[in-house]
Structure 1
């Protein structure tokens, strides 16, 4: 893998490129399997219709890189600042999908990523404040200590997700779906007392 290259329909398997730095690469319809890209830096790169399977992408740096139609499964993506990537305003749905991934300590602050798909993911200490994630599916996820404030969560499906500390007064939740037990925890923000 080299900077200033284009890779189309390429499969990368068992690559170990920790702390490596790359610039201006375009990946289209590429597959990354069992790769360790932790602490690598991809600046001004484009990832289009790619998949990552069982990869370690923790502390990946992605300044001005574009992500479109990407799926991540069984991958570790701890501590990524997604706000540094390039998210064009004309694409409110970037078709990102995460399945059985670890997304702890990630920042999505202020991003518009509608119809984001998160399934069976861990998002401990994630920052989702000020973002627009309307129409997303965030099912079977663990949001322990994650931050929501002035976040647009309209029509988000949170079915079977847990540890949601969402203040009903400071987030938009119209049409959102919650499991019964998780919905009860939302009432904590209203400073009311529940009795049996």
Structure 2
């Protein structure tokens, strides 16, 4: 398929090398769809719905998702710079939306105040990402680079940060009970306590 239409329902469709930068789409639904090597940079999906879809090697930077619903979405080797996930419609009765990001560039994303249990972030570049006030218990955030990302009053209970680097997490400001950190990187957690480490 090479075109997307307002108000359309797509099921089990495959979109390959679709270039729709700055697209404006509304009231469309995608279920069990696959997007490969597509360019949706700067696009807006308004009042849309994505269920059990896969994005591979796609550019979805600066995409806007006002009042759109997502569930069971996997992004693999995608570029997602500047995405504001707070504009998505997240039903209050649900906490696990089965979102997975693998080997993605996610600089300048915002998850501010969201409740996303069991979020999966694997081998992602997460520079300047806003996780403040969010709830992400039981999530997997492994092999990621969190340079300059913000954590404040964030629920990170039981989160697996194994092999992740460059995070600044104040253990007095965030809930980290049961979280898993790589031993050497975990030393950064003591900085907020004013502790001096000596050899």
Scaled by the length of structure 2, the TM-score of the pair is 0.98
* Deviation >6 Å, runs of 4+: none
> Shift of residue 195 of structure 1?
1.3
Counterpart of 1:194 (choices 191, 194, 197) is 197
**Which residue is equivalent to 1:170?**
173
> Shift of residue 114 of structure 1?
0.5
Counterpart of 2:49 (choices 46, 62, 66) is 46
**Which residue is equivalent to 1:17?**
20
> Shift of residue 181 of structure 1?
1.1
Aligned pair count?
Answer: 196
Q: Give the SS at the match of 2:181.
A: coil
Q: Give the SS at the match of 2:160.
A: coil
RMSD, aligned CA: 0.4
Structure 2: gaps of 5 or more residues: none
Q: Deviations over 1:1-54 (max 9, x none)?
A: 101010000000000000010001000000000000000000000000000000
**Which residue is equivalent to 2:188?**
185
| 2: CA distance, partners of 1:131 / 1:113 | 8
| 1: CA distance, partners of 2:12 / 2:147 | 37
Structure 1: gaps of 5 or more residues: none
> Shift of residue 76 of structure 1?
0.2
**Which residue is equivalent to 1:86?**
89
Q: Give the SS at the match of 2:55.
A: strand
> Shift of residue 94 of structure 1?
0.1
**Which residue is equivalent to 2:35?**
32
**Which residue is equivalent to 2:103?**
100
**Which residue is equivalent to 1:137?**
140
| 2: CA distance, partners of 1:91 / 1:97 | 16
Scaled by the length of structure 1, the TM-score of the pair is 0.99
| 2: CA distance, partners of 1:99 / 1:20 | 25
